[in-house]
Structure 1
């Protein structure tokens, strides 16, 4: 119980020591409840749905009427798969041709939203080319998507990736020009694929995406075909995806396992396409507004960083983001959204045997008696045994023991004489003067 009480006191900053076990337990539980309530992050607007299918939907995104910052951050929660699990979706921006919407209005599944980085992962558009053994021709399914402001393609973490044999595909860079990047994947036989298959050109290739690319438009070079390798590589695929989330496997080629991820065809011009792929994510950036922090802060009614302990970060040429200040966590886009981070929850916050002390906006480490901090900087201090102090204590105890022995040896002589007389009379009896 004492060890438990000490642990709670360190994490909750309870200074008084209570000797009543019942009172201690009640107070500890109350403080734990208060602390957990304070650290619980507010993520959605009051009265709005906070998640869909287990995926948090933090504001400025929102599900339902008046639950998002604006229409660009609207999220739809719908059930589409066989097991009845709801999935959050976001629609891409529609494109137009002489005022008429094109079929490229795609509703993407949302995989996760990262507030602090201004990032959104959605299921990636997958284009395909499959050899049809009946028609003796390639069936090609390609497409393009514009994410629309304030969203754009993350060109640092995503890679243009081509999967298949004898396949050359392109990624368009700008809808106003014919500029593009290409990637060639080749493999003449199944033996070569099994032996050397990797995302370095044999069965798969990937290439960096130029920095200014904002949208996705993919197509295949008609000078290549799957006709000559269709017995082991009937289909080829091209997509933009988050490199860290993809591991190439040869069965992607040999058993058409990616065919279910291919972009479905629309029923008619202007009709939305529901895209259900969640296996190959693409990373999309987003910001607030189209202005800098300095300008945004002049208009308090529209300024997005509303929480105390929040900061504004300007994203060059795009807009700005909000983050919680160091020592705080939560949602900076909501009033009271940034809450104190209890760093002491992390058992490695302080090196043992140091003790962690959380306070508003930070924490500190202290060393127990007999130990000293190697450095005086705040944060995870390292404790080292204070050899000098231990030596002094040992030396002091030795000197004290010596002094006590010496004092005993020079006690009052009269007391010693009386003790001698008492001993003598106990043996010979009293004398008569």
Structure 2
């Protein structure tokens, strides 16, 4: 009888599990940078309804509405229960006046949504202007012109973050019409209007617009504000008719309407919006995307009767499965190391699966920090409140379990302030879970190449980052008890912490080597544009191969250009080739980042460029060691920033003297050439 009940309960559970309706078309990506992308929006060919709904996932982390060229912050389907229309929150450019003091040339091309099924939301946006003694007009280019007056106190002419009612340098108006494009005009109305250095206006999300707490200076500098678009699908589009058969705008599972679902702001919309009917859930824009959520009363009763038995059996199976995974992932080997008198691995390095599931809300897709070929990284919070990054690796090679465990032991003991720290692992899951310190400010690549970055990195910050990377690599090559070759140094693997200090990450292809080795012979791995040509030809990776990759990063810092670009047609796509040719033809300062040229003397640029050129020597023997590179960069910094470098050096000496004390020479696992097959703080292109 119990077996029959169990079978019926299992059938019901299977049926209920199948009710998780799809939100995207089959085989299409569900998220980009933690933002869910439901159909009719989509990433990749065949995944979106038409060109207006195409999402470009830049660098795997930045979703952009491709045709409108707007960064996407959030996308929501319509919801009748929440009385919400379909909305997409975007990053909208700010409108500056022609005053050059705004840090802008004053030009602004209005964002146009004409031809789309998107409108600027009248109920969820507010139009605001910031400046002293000006009239600001918002023109929808069709029929409506609305404006407001912004004045400042007569005694100081200062914009204040207090109210936005026309005084204190800020005014606001509501928009009532359906907008798809608008322009902004500024006009001073007193002779003292010029006292204010910059005037600007923006359309912004009303839920985030609180003048008393809003930092107008930060908003002005960023050049963008969060705004809300409402969206739907065309009434008569061929694609819509083919998919939904709109002979009538409803059926038993979903309904469609051109009337706003927002009862507080009733109006006819210029498009159709669809929602699943009561009792159904899913995405109405996908054919058969709304699925029923109710099960029969009889089956529910059977499930309740069988619940305790099911829980017992499930718990027993989970326990056995955890034991199986723990053994398969090398748990017994790690336990032996923990219990060994010679072992020096802290017991806190082992996490249990339930704690990590809780930390990540059961690995919720909203917690995803990045995805790549090696696995997925989630943001999590441990029970003690510590924020961490949790890496869910892909399946590891069971033949290399001992190597994997040994690498966990080695990496968990590396304690250098410019290397992302491995805090521990969990081995009782199907694939190992690796826990790292959380690094909040993204990658060096983003700050050098992402067009959405608010302001470029200063030269002194670039030079400091270069010195920190070099110091970390010198430590890995020379100061650690078991020398480590990174094998994938690139700007996407350099993370920046809350103080914008460099953290070397992604040891997914690294090698640790015995002290008497000079190289390791492996299958060629790395990233095109950073790969040592000598290693590519010989398959022999040395410490000088890391030096070459570091040289490429140094050239990125100098030029602000990507390692590979189709825009460099004459010299080829390679930044290294472009750089070397420019050096040989005395054209170095033609390719250096313009921001760098404004900040620093050419002599200092030439010193760093010469060092980069030596790092990129085709003959590895002629390249400097990372120790020499680190010392030379510290010397350049000491000349330019003597007080800063003294403190920096004292900190580094203290940390490295502490780091040097750990040793794994007594480990019960043989130490020779080891492949870091699964120990990665980050994946290429991921950010924390």
TM-score by length of 2: 0.36
Per the alignment, residue 314 of structure 1 pairs with 258
Of 117, 120, 132 in structure 2, the residue corresponding to residue 153 of structure 1 is 120
In 1: Cα distance, 2:103 partner to 2:44 partner: 46
Rounded to whole Å, the distance in 2 between the matches of 1:322 and 1:137 is 43
Partner of 2:63: 88
- Matches for 1:21-170 after TM superposition, within 5 Å: 31-32=12-13, 34-38=15-19, 40-79=20-59, 86-92=61-67, 107-116=69-78, 117-129=85-97, 140-148=106-114, 149-170=116-137
What number of residue pairs does the alignment pair up?
Answer: 280
Displacement of 1:64: 0.6
Q: Structure 1 residue 185 and structure 2 residue 150: aligned?
A: yes
* Mapped pair 1:214 → 2:186: no
- Does the C-alpha gap of structure 1 residues 259 and 78 become closer, same or farther in structure 2, counting only changes over 3 Å? same
- For residues 191 and 23 of structure 1, the distance between their equivalents in structure 2, rounded to whole angstroms, comes to 81
Equivalent runs, 1:163-312 vs 2, <5 Å: 163-175=130-142, 179-188=144-153, 189=155, 197-202=162-167, 203-223=169-189, 227-229=194-196, 234-249=197-212, 252-253=215-216, 256-262=217-223, 277=224, 280-291=225-236, 299-300=241-242, 303=245, 309-312=253-256
Q: Is the 8 A contact 2:35 2:74 kept in 1?
A: yes
Distance 1:137 1:150 in 2: 34
Query: Is residue 331 of structure 1 aligned with residue 283 of structure 2?
Result: yes
Question: Shift in Å at residue 251 of structure 1?
Answer: 6.7
Aligned to 1:98: none
Q: Distance in 2 between matches of 1:124 and 1:191?
A: 28
Q: Secondary structure at the match of 1:143?
A: coil
TM-aligned CA deviation for residue 48 of structure 1:
0.8
When Rg is computed on C-alpha atoms for both structures, the one with the higher figure is 1
1:250–1:45 CA distance, 2 compared to 1 (3 A): closer
CA–CA distance in 2 between the matches of 1:201 and 1:146? 28
Q: Distance in 1 between matches of 2:25 and 2:146?
A: 42
Pairwise CA distance, 1:205: 1.6
Within 2, Cα distance between the matches of 1:288 and 1:89?
19
Q: Distance in 2 between matches of 1:190 and 1:252?
A: 19
Alignment RMSD (CA, Å): 4.0
Deviates more, 1:45-54 or 1:202-211: 202-211
Partners of 2:126 and 2:255 in 1: CA distance = 31
> Does the 8 A contact of 1:127 with 1:218 survive in 2?
yes
Instruction: Provide the rounded CA distance (Å) in 2 between the counterparts of 1:137 and 1:245.
Output: 24
Which structure 2 residue ranges, 5 or more long, are not aligned?
79-84, 260-267, 301-688
Give the Å deviation of 1:139. Answer: 5.8
Contact 1:216 1:240 (C-alpha < 8 Å) held by counterparts: no
Q: Secondary structure at the match of 2:52?
A: helix
> What is the CA distance between 1:287 and its match in structure 2?
2.0
SS at match of 2:152: coil
Structure with greater proportional helix content = 2
Structure 1: gaps spanning 5 or more residues: 1-17, 80-84, 93-105, 263-276, 344-356, 361-433
Aligned-partner Cα distance in 2 for 1:308–1:46: 23
Structure 1: distance between partners of 2:251 and 2:11: 27
Tell me how far 1:156 sits from its aligned partner.
2.3
SS at match of 2:207: helix
SS at match of 2:203: strand
**Once the two structures are superposed, what CA deviation does each residue of 1:179-228 show, in whole Å capped at 9, x if it has no partner?**
5211222222569865x821222232211114143313223225567642
1:345-395 deviation per Cα after TM superposition (whole angstroms, max 9, x unaligned)? xxxxxxxxxxxx7999xxxxxxxxxxxxxxxxxxxxxxxxxxxxxxxxxxx
Task: Note if contact 1:193-1:250 (Cα within 8 Å) is conserved in structure 2.
Answer: no
TM-score (norm 1): 0.55
Q: Is the Cα–Cα contact under 8 Å of residues 342 and 358 in structure 1 kept in the other structure?
A: no
Structure with the bigger RCO (C-alpha within 8 Å, sep 6+) is 1
* Aligned counterparts of 2:298 and 2:277: Cα–Cα separation in 1: 16
Whole-Å separation in 2 of the counterparts to 1:37 and 1:302: 23
Contact between 2:244 and 2:287, CA under 8 Å: does it hold in 1? no
Q: Is the 8 A contact 1:60 1:73 kept in 2?
A: yes
Cα drift, residue 119 of structure 1: 2.0
